[in-house]
Structure 1
Amino acid sequence: MALVTVNELLQKAEAGKYAVGAFNCNNMEIVQAIIAAAEAENAPVIIQASQGAIKYAGLEWIVGMSKIAAEQAKIPVALHLDHGTSFEQCVQCIRAGFSSVMIDGSQYPLEENIELTNRVLAVARPVGVSVEAELGKIGGTEDDITVDEKDAMYTDPEEAREFVERTNVDSLAVAIGTAHGQYKGEPKLDFERLEKIKSLVKIPIVLHGSSGVPDEAIQRAISLGVCKVNIDTNIREAITGAIRKVLNEKPNEIDPRKIIGPGREAAIEVIREKIRIFGSSGKA
């Protein structure tokens, strides 16, 4: 089937009280792992690519692989730009064939963030592409984007209400205590803040930096309105762990298929586990 929009998947997730997994890809093996895991769980899935992934693999390659994956898949698949930081980049991805984009104006003051988000919406809406925005800063590092812990700001519920009223964006990423990359300790999520945001904002909420967050915390966040959960670091850890194991056990192995293949299998397992935690198994 053709790529679907993230908005279509999240509307169903919100009605069904589950979340759709959004998994970052950087190469063919990760795209294959995402699809294989989602099909094994009969779950809708979001392939997402960051600026770093696009720089590494190439925009046309990311779109080409994802479109082939979606066409051959038995489950609904969306292709989403993760952390687009400029109007131009979002337009480029829309033109290339992404079914969904994120415009991350969280580093700007509220007025500028609203203006930037509305510019992207004006281009995306007429061509049926869904748009995610972000309010508040999520700590940690993702590709070229770094937010120091001291600069990480939680999302203000009243600002979230105003932002959504003035943009009518499809989904909103909020900062409630998660971070990108590997955690130094166990993250503590501000569920009271999430509950307040959801009481004021009637659109799907997105949780970034979810790798390393305890399963119970993820599930509680979903029960409070989170409909999209982003995972990247856990996939990287699974793949590199499996590759290291092969190279440690067989230091003379030179066949990339025998080195990278086990990494793909490890990624499938971790993605399947996340899908079950998110409650989206059997929801395709």
Structure 2
Amino acid sequence: MALVNTKEMFKKAYDGGYAVGAFNVNNMEIVQGITEACQELKAPVILQVSAGARKYANHTYLVKLVEAAVKENPNIPIALHLDHGSSYELCKDCIDGGFTSVMIDGSHLPFDENVELAHKVAEYAHKYNVTVEAELGRLAGIEDAVNVSADDASYTNPAEVQEFVERTGVDSLAIAIGTSHGAYKFKPGQKPQLRFDILAEVGKRLPGFPIVLHGASSVIPEFVQMINQYGGQMPDAIGIPEDMLREAAKMAVCKINVDSDLRLAMTGTIRKYFAENPSHFDPRQYLAPARTAIKDMVAHKINTVLGCAGKA
């Protein structure tokens, strides 16, 4: 099976009341851990690359790693997606370089400028059977190149979504309903709450259209504690409750992004390994358990949040 775009997997997800996981990748072990879990659980998957990951690992290396994953896991659909593309030029470069899906993030722009930019990307992408995600509303938080203060964050206005989709021709839409980028979403004592009223209204205005949630890591406490136990200094934080995410996946949400939870699982596992094996220096010795931690985390998300096991 070759790399696919997101069109068919999103149609099945919408009709089936589940979501597809979009997991950020930076290196070989992360790609392997994610796809091994999906292969075992027969789950579709989106491997997504941020501009920062592309700069770190090099476009060609990342594409070849994902192509290798497709070859090694032939029974599951895999899409290669650009996360938070900041410009037409970046999206075009990824399309020309083998990506099957791109996100153009013009959420910081005035409405008409966001429309114009998204339309331009969609017009080019569709020539090559590449699907396009855009964003309305702004999530707070910091992750990679995304940095939005709480003051600048804004919920998606449901009254704008139909016009936006019709004018741009995009294939999916990321909306802001209370999720947040990064690991520091809510302080202890705060109560996370997703705006299901906004999601429901968007679903009414865009029947059958796939919606995307960014910033959907749950900041699983055991990995934060593991990092701190072995020398880290992460403050306590609360992520998005997984039962809320599962409820969103039963509605119009067809794609849920996960990045911070993978980073926490990998980093906590490596810190623990070095604390218990201070004289070891072979990367294979500490990256192997980190890869397993990634695999276990993805399996957990598939079973608990996404509901996409057996949907490949």
Partner residue in 2 for 1:233: 260
Q: What secondary structure sits across from 1:151 in the alignment?
A: coil
Partner residue in 2 for 1:281: 309
- Spell out the pairing of 1:149-188 with structure 2 (5 A cutoff): 149-182=150-183, 183-185=185-187, 186-188=191-193
Q: CA deviation at 1:168?
A: 2.4
The 10-residue stretch of structure 1 (124-133 or 69-78) with the greater mean CA deviation from structure 2: 69-78
- Spell out the pairing of 1:100-179 with structure 2 (5 A cutoff): 100-179=101-180
- Spell out the pairing of 1:36-55 with structure 2 (5 A cutoff): 36-55=36-55
Q: 2:281 aligns with which of 240, 249, 254?
A: 254
Matched, 1:191 2:188: no
Runs of 4+ aligned residues of structure 1 deviating over 3 Å after TM superposition are none
Structure 2: which amino acid aligns with 1:250? Answer: N
Deviations 1:226-272 (A, max 9, x none): 01000000000000010001000011111100111111100100101
| TM-score (structure 1 length as normaliser) | 0.98
In 1, the alpha carbon distance for the partners of 2:49 and 2:8 equals 19
In 2, the alpha carbon distance for the partners of 1:8 and 1:204 equals 11
Q: CA deviation at 1:224?
A: 2.0
- Tell me if the contact between 1:14 and 1:227 (Cα under 8 Å) persists in the aligned partners: yes
- Tell me if the contact between 1:3 and 1:71 (Cα under 8 Å) persists in the aligned partners: no
Partner residue in 2 for 1:243: 270
Q: What secondary structure sits across from 2:76 in the alignment?
A: coil
Q: 2:217 aligns with which of 207, 211, 214?
A: 211
In 2, the alpha carbon distance for the partners of 1:149 and 1:7 equals 33
Deviations 1:41-93 (A, max 9, x none): 11000000001110110111111111111122121100000000100000000
Any unmatched runs of 5+ in structure 2?
A: 219-239
| TM-score (structure 2 length as normaliser) | 0.89
Q: Matched residue pairs, number?
A: 284
Partner residue in 2 for 1:28: 28
Q: CA deviation at 1:150?
A: 1.2
Q: CA deviation at 1:187?
A: 2.4
Identity of matched residues, %: 49
- Tell me if the contact between 1:43 and 1:275 (Cα under 8 Å) persists in the aligned partners: yes
RMSD of the TM alignment (CA)?
0.9
